[in-house]
Amino acid sequence: MACAPECGRELSQGAFLSLMARITMQQIAAMTGLSLATVSRTIHSPHLVKPGTLEKVRRVMEEERYVYNVTASDFSRKRSTVIGVMIPTTRGSIFANSTQAIQEKAQERGFSLIMGSTGYDSDAEIALLRSFQERRLAGVILTGFNIGQERIIRELVREGVPCVVVWELLRESEFSFVGFDNFQAAFSMTNYLIGLKHRRIGLILGPYTKIGRARKRLEGYRAALKQNRMPYDPEIVQEKMPTLKDGKEAMARLLSLPEPPSAVFAASDMLALGAMAAASEMGLRIPEDVSLAGFDDIEYAAYSRPPLTTVRVPAREMGEMAVSALVEMIEGKIEKPRQVELPTEIVIRESCREWKERSRRKMQSKRQGTRKAEKA
């Protein structure tokens, strides 16, 4: 699996769109009297169409200077067997299972991958998608994208580049996706903690001002509080990058508050594992002094001390189904967007317990003892 070279970040969204503004596949379809699926199949899999169709599309593309600038010699080549995969980060193992499943399924179907990591950066997303387009890949799988970037994906779809989004639900869109309900998953986990009699529940999550998945998890958390007539307190909500370091810093802040939360929902297992380290350093035990829940169910979650209660997401299934849908699109077998919603589940382990008032008194006593030791 190759990695795309780093692209310059100075590229603006406007520049990306103007690059593709000459003529769209929809316009080619209208000019030739062919369906959009047939035009897409002609460009991406020319060996699957009749010579007359090939010539008709080629002529219009040459006359209108289609963005790929495909010539007759381009059509004589075999179809591309490379799929581009965009992921937000390679750090940790949040996306490891789905990416591994994508690679295995793609190889099974005769495709190889070129992968790029964006670091949750909007400009990097634009540059990477431009790189994928210029390479004339068979199709693209996107592990979500930043808020406001739908326009870019829409342009790719209009150009006939087969695209599938994973980890997101884009119900009110023309995009193909294989995802799960981030809102409902966070809502369910927050309700689980409320059911354990916790009334002050902290939240640590990714950059919800940029990432749709994180925003949906915040909305699910807030909806659960509202349903149970509990106030939303922004003081106990920490917006962080999904790393061990940030999880540790966020948990330390929460547990140092005058009125700390009795439970913390870390909307990423990487954040949760960092939070565990912070609690341990402060002399607090999980779940005796503070309950902790995660999100993702990465492999290490079952082996942490204590084993982490978390939301299990269908990572492998998303990867496998995304490849299957993408290959069908590449081969022209489906014309309408393929939209699949998969379930999540709460995996109950040992990091959460029912809240009792004496637990608060113990926590306060331990925090005071830790402060005295630090002063000494």
* Mean residue pLDDT across the chain: 85
Residue 212 shares a structural domain with residue 69 = no
Biggest CA-to-CA distance, the chain: 86
352 with 226, same domain: the answer is yes
Q: Do 44 and 76 touch, CB atoms closer than 8 A?
A: no
The whole-number pLDDT of residue 13 equals 37
pLDDT, tens digit, 9 for 90 and up, residues 14-24: 333 333 345 67
pLDDT surpasses 50 at 114: yes
Same domain, 36 and 82: yes
Beta bridge partners of 265: 203, 293
Beta strand segments in 66-199, E: 82-87, 112-117, 139-143, 163-166, 176-179
What is the reported pLDDT for 151?
77
pLDDT of residue 47: 67
Q: In this predicted structure, which of 15-29, 34-48, 203-217, 238-252 has the lowest mean pLDDT?
A: 15-29
- Cβ–Cβ under 8 Å, residues 120 and 88: yes
- Is 342 or 136 the better-scoring residue by pLDDT? 342
Phi, psi of 24 (to 5 degrees): -105, 165
At position 32, the amino acid (one-letter code) is T
The domain of 221 spans 182-312+346-375
Residue 93 sits in the same domain as residue 173: yes
> In terms of domains, do 147 and 190 share one?
no
| Amino acid occupying residue 126 | I
pTM of the model: 0.77
Instruction: Report, as an integer, the average pLDDT of 346-367.
Output: 79
Same domain? 169 vs 195? no
- Shared-domain flag, residues 11 and 84: yes
Contact 187, 344 (CB under 8 A): no
When pLDDT is averaged across residues 211-215 and rounded to a whole number, the result is 92
Number of domains present in the structure of the chain: 2
Quote the CA–CA distance of 136 and 268 in Å, as a whole number.
34
Element (H, E) at 60: helix 51-64
Distances in whole angstroms, Cα of residue 3 to Cα of each of 7, 60, 120, 126, 154: 11, 34, 16, 16, 24
CB-CB contact of 342 with 314 (8 Å): yes
Helix axes 122-134, 150-158, angle to 10 degrees: 10
The full DSSP string for 131-152 is HHHHTT-SEEEEE--BTT-HHH
Confidence of residue 297 (pLDDT cuts 50, 70, 90): very high
* CATH code for position 89: 3.40.50.2300
Does one domain contain both 207 and 120? no
- Per-residue pLDDT, averaged over 259-264, amounts to 98
If asked whether residues 293 and 365 sit together in one domain, one would say yes
Q: Are residues 154 and 286 in the same domain?
A: no
Q: What separation in angstroms does the CA of 243 have from each of 93, 119, 125, 228?
A: 10, 12, 20, 30
Calculate mean pLDDT across residues 132-143: 88
Q: Are residues 69 and 153 in the same domain?
A: yes
Q: How confident is the model over 312-328, as a mean pLDDT?
A: 97
